[in-house]
Chain A
Amino acid sequence: MKNTVLELKDIAKYFPGIKALDKVDFTIRTGEVHALIGENGAGKSTLVKIMTGVYQPTKGTIFRNGKSVQFKTSHDAQAAGVVAIHQEASMFSELTVTENIFMGHHLRKKSGMLDWKAMTRHTAELLDKLELDISPDTLIKNLGTAQRHMVEIAKALSVDAEVVIMDEPTSALSLKEVEELYKIIRQLKNDGKAIVFISHKFDEIFEICDYFTVFRDGQYIGEGEVPKSSIDEIVRMMVGRSLNQMYPKKDPKIGESILDVEGLSLPGYFSDVSFNLHRGEILGFFGLVGAGRSEVMRTIFGIDKKSAGKITLKGEVLEMASPGLAMRKGIAYVPEDRQEQGAILEMSLSHNITLPQINGLSSFGVLNSRKERGVTEEYGNKMEIKAASWKVNANTLSGGNQQKVVLAKWLATNPQILILDEPTKGIDVATKAAVHEFISEMAAEGLAVIMVSSELPEILGMSDRIVIMHEGKVTAVMNRDEADSDNIILAATGHGRGEKK
């Protein structure tokens, strides 16, 4: 008994200067778990926001039970029985669990007064259902990452919705919690709900999903039934080329150890993290969202202050007091969030590229535009940035080109250690391959590279060694030849040192 409950026809979404979605069709049926597949930046999250009324489509129509509808706010979508668990953190940390679950649709008494008793009761029931041992009155700021995600899930379940969209719901969950989630999804399915499940983990898709639709670079690519398809087929639709083309790994020439991290700790984020890094090596860092990988990198780069531990760079013990110092010692950090941390969007490409070493490009604090142009052109051209001129602002470029600007900016500092945090997040497939090739080349030239990534194929395809973290601790370090997706996932979810069950 599968009925079409929600249908999107020829949807497009433009932002000034960007086409986030174009010519997209998407159909959701009851009693079915529908996987929405695509790489980061393929437009999945934008589509979710359109289905839930957070964004309005620039073009196209949404049909609810065959009737054309418009979701002007998420209230409209909710009233029509469509809810989502958003990927981005969307919690109110100063408010209680109850309030977070009911914000936007607080229960009211007949008099119009908010009914806190009823809300607390409902919350307790929901938490019970999810086997979460927390009080409804707990403030969100007192919860850990995984618990927060579970509250997000409870929030979606608090509305009696017919369509439940889950945007990467498992990215921060442990195996046990994932099992709990599967159970709920199956139950919802049996109750005749329609579920959209967004993920790029294939084991999850094959475990729980019935049908799939693939997106790439903001466009609809294809669809099919999960049991009748193979991973290879789906991957090819997803990336538009085969895997070994995506990860042009060069033979590594691994040299001497250059960075030695011992017992590094930052309370609340990670503790007792130790590893070392060699010249010419690509060291992959894998873990769930919230495992503390980025925080380790931030600490090594001097943005966060460590509480304990030792960082040794080429035999010299360093107190990484500031990013400026880390830079002078030859460390470059390409942060995870390109728009917030990497590029300065409203500044020109040239000013972006020269910013980290602006002191060196000046005499007595006075800028030297000739030197600046030299550096800009050298590294801008090396990265093959496509832009009208070096004077245009970074926000006029595509995501991929922006990432190249950020890479150029750090390469220009002539680093010995390059830390890349999710280097290909949200960029198009062609640029992605180019970035990978570039990483390989730099490593081959003797640069020591740390690559933090949440994409398992990228980790497996690019790393010489892999450090796996779980809840702030290093759970395993594996060589390229001993790592496979199974033992990495096990280690990342806290199951021993990656030994199989």
Chain B
Amino acid sequence: MSVTGSVAGDPPVTPTPEAVESGGWRRHALAAGFLAPAAIFLGVWIVYPTLTTIWRSFFDESGDEFVGLQNYQTLFTSDVILTAIKNNAIWVLVVPALVTSVGLVFAVLTERIPWSVAFKTAVFMPMAISAFAAGITWRIVYLQEPDRGALNAGIAVVKDSFSSGGVLADARPSSDALEGTSQGTIRLAEPVGRGDIALLGLTAIGSSEVPDDAEQAVRPEALQGGIRGVVWRDFKPGGGTAGEVEPDELGLPGVTVKLRTSGGGAVGSTMTATDGTFSFDEVESGEYSVAIGSESFSQSFGGVTWLGEKLVTPAILISYLWIWAGFAMVVIAAGLAAIPRDVLEAARTDGGTEWQVFRRVTVPLLAPVLTVVFITMLINVLKVFDIVIAIAPGSVQDDATVLALQMWRTAFGGSNDFGVGSAIAVFIFLLVVPILALNIRRFRREL
């Protein structure tokens, strides 16, 4: 929740009003009056619950029986909680470093760009949106069907323009020598044996669908003890003879050809070369069928399952970066603006390249700001909740879960185990205590 609750600041001056001894108790009463409302809120809603939760974590589900450290033992034996710990470790290792570096890159790149305000506004905007709404926004991006999910649609476009997938989408046998359709397999009607040549001519392939690396189809030489053949586009402008390899007919590269025994047992599988030829070199005598594998026909891209158990955590991390990069950028840009120009200019005139200046001067000078961003993100990541519950579908929440989410699920999401729930909360608390100590030390130095 806390956006900036990281590092304590340094007040410019600490003007302790000295001449206030007179009327001591009245002044103290006044101070107490000003502080009372805050004290009540902090005491009742933060201090008292914190102590109670620590106490509660040593009792069982119902709170009646003292169980010692048993709830903490559960943290490290329950599969789901272990997953939460593991996932949170990934978050801790990846997110603060990633967000800080991306923010640094953006801040440096936009520094001398006249239209940087537009860029910064676009990148910073997600900060205003709730993590929950951002989660739903990204869930629409991650929809699996390439027809509906923008990310998979983008991948489908790239895939289509780079791969030869779908070459044989509507392919048909060019002659009676073959049977079958592109919906299943296309195979030679007659069985073949050693030394035979299998001619697999196909038609109804648009010229734009033929892979760019396709070459003139070649009728291979027969091979003693083996079966050779060719898969080619049995069509040329102005006609030609079906079932014969002729000049200007292209081979179809990258097609899977399968060899089976007449009983249907698989013997081998190979890919065609750029001229469409293929070869099964050592084949025992007997009758075989030659078929084009169904995987060669149009496999329309079904979309990456972003929100399945494997990719759900990286997917959520990306959307989290989308939210927080703007924060890092703005804070680092402010730090960058505070670096004296002449320091950078001096480094440049001393012959430093832009990269050297960046590495040796800019980054070291920015170190305090980078630390602030890093620590802020560290605290945020330990408490991340909304975006996980929003993006991860119910079925993979066990795989995507993190500590804060698992705490809520344990205590309020059905099983209502306040004992283990408290233990998870204390565990999160223990993880932020070192940061807390750091904050206080810094602040006391500055006070």
Chain A partners chain B? no
**Residues of A at under 8 Å CB distance from B?**
none
**Residues of B at under 8 Å CB distance from A?**
none
